[in-house]
Structure 1
Amino acid sequence: MAAPIAYAEHTAYALIATDLDGTLLRGDDTVSDRSLAALARISAAGARHLVVTGRPAPRVRPLLEDLGGAGLAVCGQGAQLYDVGAGRLLWSVTLDRELAETALGKIEAEVGQVYAAVDQDGIDGLTLIEPGYLMPHPTLPAVRVGRRDDLWCEPISKVLLRHPVLSDDELAAVARTVVGSLATVTMSGPGTVELQPCGITKATGLALAAGHLGLSPADTIAFGDMPNDIPMFDWAAHGVAMANAHSELKAVADEITLSNEDDGVAAVLERLLTEGPRPHPFGGRRDSVGVQAP
């Protein structure tokens, strides 16, 4: 374990954990100048910024370069710990392909045909999509394969699912009911229901990264927008949901900020740099920046 990081007294948290899509990123996949400036100021005060994203490492490298190109990043919903500066995975876990096929079969027995994609493991892993699957992020690169069996040609970190009729919430609810211990079911964004290795969440990846940095839950504030961020909020001392967040995440957040388009992350970081002593992380009171908490 690394030695604990020293940080300025006025920095309320030593570790700033942010989701990307729908949180730090705007809809055009960019980080605003205001957000970049806030992250730079809080880093200058001694805190560390950690990206915690559902995207696999190969799909996040260009964004990490824009954010400074150093440090650690939790990728693949917690299945990968990526050393940005060295360009290598420090840790990764794969989803057993037979278990993935079995889980898909159980889901399709309940809801009919679903369309699937996979993220391959590794620093150069591809995103493969079967016929009929539509990428929720059309700007992200993907390779279309001819049939489902082709998805399993290499080790994978997760499976992505879409249903032609059911909503994400409905599909995720059914999947959780029938998959059991075969995999962990998450919902990470519009059109993104995922199967990942059992027991792996953003919280497991965040805890591993924090341990490398010599930091703890009490040092951490986390930002997110979807139900896959709930474990991260449970682990961190303070969870901040975006105004555009899913209702399930808002229900467990300590605070609700502005939307990703309105620089909600920056609004909180700017406040942290100017306010006094940190409120007790388990005080239970939910405050909001610009909007009312539910």
Structure 2
Amino acid sequence: MNARVLAAVNVHVLACDYDGTIADGGRCSTEIARALTRVRESGRKVLLVTGRMLPDLRAVCPDVDHLFDAVVAENGALLYFPESREAKVLGDPPEPALIEELRRRGVPFDVGSSIIATVEAYAEAALAAIRETGVERTLVFNKGALMLLPGGVTKGTGLEAALTVLALSPHNSIGIGDAENDHAFLAMSECAVAVADAIPALRERADYVTRAPGSRGVIEFIEEHLVNDLVELMPRLTRHRLILGESDDREPVTISPHATRLLIVGPSASGKSTLTGLLVERLVESGRSVLLIDPEGDYQTFAEIERVVVLGGSSERALPTPDELRQLLHQPRTSLVLNLSAMSRAEKVAYATKALSAVAFVRSTTGLPHWLILDEAHHIAPADGSPVVDLLRGGAESLCMITLAVTDLAPDVRVLPNVVAATELEAFAATVRTAAAGGTAPTLSGGPLAQGEIAIAWLGPEPRAWRFRLAKRRVQHRRHVRKYTEGELPPDRSFYFRGPAGALNLRAANLVRFVELAEGVDEQTWAWHLKQHDYSTWALQEIKDEGLATALKEVEDAGLEPAESRRRALDAIRARYAV
């Protein structure tokens, strides 16, 4: 497979208002029709988001079935899909009592499937009619027009419903408009564009304002930016940046969700997974989708996060086949964690290669998943190479890799990052020098990083580096849960109950076996290891769980009777692991 297939297209949807945006004087020109057709021919979807009723739209735009993949009509209250000719009403029909009251008050109006349309001169009379009848309707202005909509219905809710049907994400969409009722759908689009003659409030909130007015501005935007997949505009989309923590001067430290290739490095149990977990939480909270490949089973607790599905490991939910994975990745708001901890190293590489091939296929058509995260990346892209390297190399998509040291990765992967984060300064400096690949490598001054402190550097044209304190996570991290509870550590990392005279040689290759043996050994053997601080040392050095080690050391230092110390030590283990 061509490695560049992982370079996902950012924009898969162009959502346009009609009057004043793609239509001048109520009609679409030949030039705008050609421009919209070119967008569709590029594989992207074109959606119309309008306040007009469908019959009225057909009268002024006879080519509606040929220009658009979906129509959000009646200001979000009606969906129409030209290919299937299917229409779906999203709002309640106009209330007979309200219609009668509007007539009694002399308000001229048109009635749609859900909308009631009039002009702004009758706003007071319309509001009085709503109050009189007690119905739930919202007044929405559109320059000189006035719409009475069911509560909660906007162009934004209509666009979201259309994207759900198409299995696409608003984070891969551009919204273009000109008037008051366009705020809602532009706000939910990843890039909000206002044409030059849009109302001032819309221009002020837009990410980009065209130089030309109306349809000429839309054509300008398509030719200058959409064709380039928004590469030049990405730095402007600052409203989407994700907060990771704050610096010493209490300034927020943020990262862009767009075209970021992040490498996180540092020694074991130093906080890399905490940073990774925070990043995933921020991405999921923002409505983005994530695929996290988890070689060691570190992220089982992510099943507690809404819209995150954990598959593999020791759970009954088996890893998906490539075909099943492609289907799962087509769900815009669903994130996946693939736990490979039950596999051998060779099996992990083989499965990751198939998974990344599936990602490449889905990203080329939908832009999903928005982020690919490779924990313990040295397992699947090691220094001596693997098929995964070819799939990663040259991609521009958002990617996060986590490893112990940059030298553990394949040479071609070491130079992919444009952002480096580290939990230890020596690893930070070495990684920044390597990733900068001869460019300027930003440096950090000061002493060692404190607990919970991260070093981060942005590479490229304006390199810079910061120290910051990590924000708190919602879901607490538990390291290598399956590996240390059910897997088997090598002999030199196992715990041995030997006793003061070395009369025993009972090997515990995991925590399950440790608990079994600890419950059965005699008090003299238990107390001897307790006095030697063997339990906390093993937890820190081999299980690599600082929290467990601290809890065990407190038991070791408490001067307890053997039975009580044994009970408390095993309780500390059971509080953290399913043993």
| Match in the other structure for 1:205 | 158
Matched, 1:231 2:159: no
1:185-264 map, 5 Å: 185-190=139-144, 192-257=145-210, 258-260=212-214, 263-264=216-217
> Which of 64, 88, 112 lines up with 1:120 in the alignment?
112
d(CA) in 2 for partners of 1:93, 1:210: 17
Offset of residue 189 of structure 1: 3.2
- Structure 1 residue matching 2:109: 3-state secondary structure: strand
Matched, 1:276 2:273: no
| Match in the other structure for 1:162 | 119
Query: Aligned Cα RMSD in Å?
Result: 3.3
- Structure 2 residue matching 1:229: 3-state secondary structure: helix
| Match in the other structure for 1:100 | 98
| Match in the other structure for 1:129 | none
| Match in the other structure for 1:46 | 43
d(CA) in 1 for partners of 2:136, 2:200: 27
Question: Which amino acid letter does the alignment assign opposite residue 75 of structure 1?
Answer: A
**Structure 1 residues 52 and 66, CA gap change in structure 2 (3 angstroms):** closer
**Structure 1 residues 66 and 215, CA gap change in structure 2 (3 angstroms):** closer
d(CA) in 1 for partners of 2:135, 2:175: 27
> Which of 6, 11, 28 lines up with 1:13 in the alignment?
11
Question: Which amino acid letter does the alignment assign opposite residue 53 of structure 1?
Answer: T
Instruction: Give yes or no for contact 1:80–1:92 (8 Å, CA) kept in 2.
Output: yes
d(CA) in 2 for partners of 1:23, 1:84: 21
**Structure 1 residues 99 and 284, CA gap change in structure 2 (3 angstroms):** farther
Larger relative contact order (C-alpha < 8 A, sep ≥ 6)?
Answer: 1
Instruction: Give yes or no for contact 1:237–1:281 (8 Å, CA) kept in 2.
Output: no
1:31-70 map, 5 Å: 31-61=28-58, 63=61, 65=63, 68=66
Bigger Rg, structure 1 or 2:
2
1:110-149 map, 5 Å: 115-121=107-113
Q: TM-score with structure 1 length normalisation?
A: 0.67
Q: Deviations over 1:262-284 (max 9, x none)?
A: x1111111112146365057415
Offset of residue 209 of structure 1: 0.5
Offset of residue 72 of structure 1: 1.5
Runs of 4+ in structure 1 displaced over 3 angstroms? Answer: 7-12, 98-105, 178-181, 274-278
d(CA) in 1 for partners of 2:140, 2:165: 25
**Structure 1 residues 100 and 51, CA gap change in structure 2 (3 angstroms):** same
Offset of residue 66 of structure 1: 5.1
- Structure 2 residue matching 1:251: 3-state secondary structure: helix
Q: TM-score with structure 2 length normalisation?
A: 0.36
Count of residues in Structure 1 that have an aligned counterpart in Structure 2: 229
d(CA) in 1 for partners of 2:68, 2:188: 24
Offset of residue 95 of structure 1: 3.9
Question: Which amino acid letter does the alignment assign opposite residue 211 of structure 1?
Answer: T
Q: Deviations over 1:216-269 (max 9, x none)?
A: 1211110111110111111111111122212232232111112115x1111111
**Structure 1 residues 90 and 182, CA gap change in structure 2 (3 angstroms):** closer
Question: Which amino acid letter does the alignment assign opposite residue 42 of structure 2?
Answer: A
Offset of residue 76 of structure 1: 0.5
Question: Which amino acid letter does the alignment assign opposite residue 234 of structure 1?
Answer: A
Structure 1 or 2: more helix by fraction? 2
Instruction: Give yes or no for contact 2:180–2:202 (8 Å, CA) kept in 1.
Output: yes
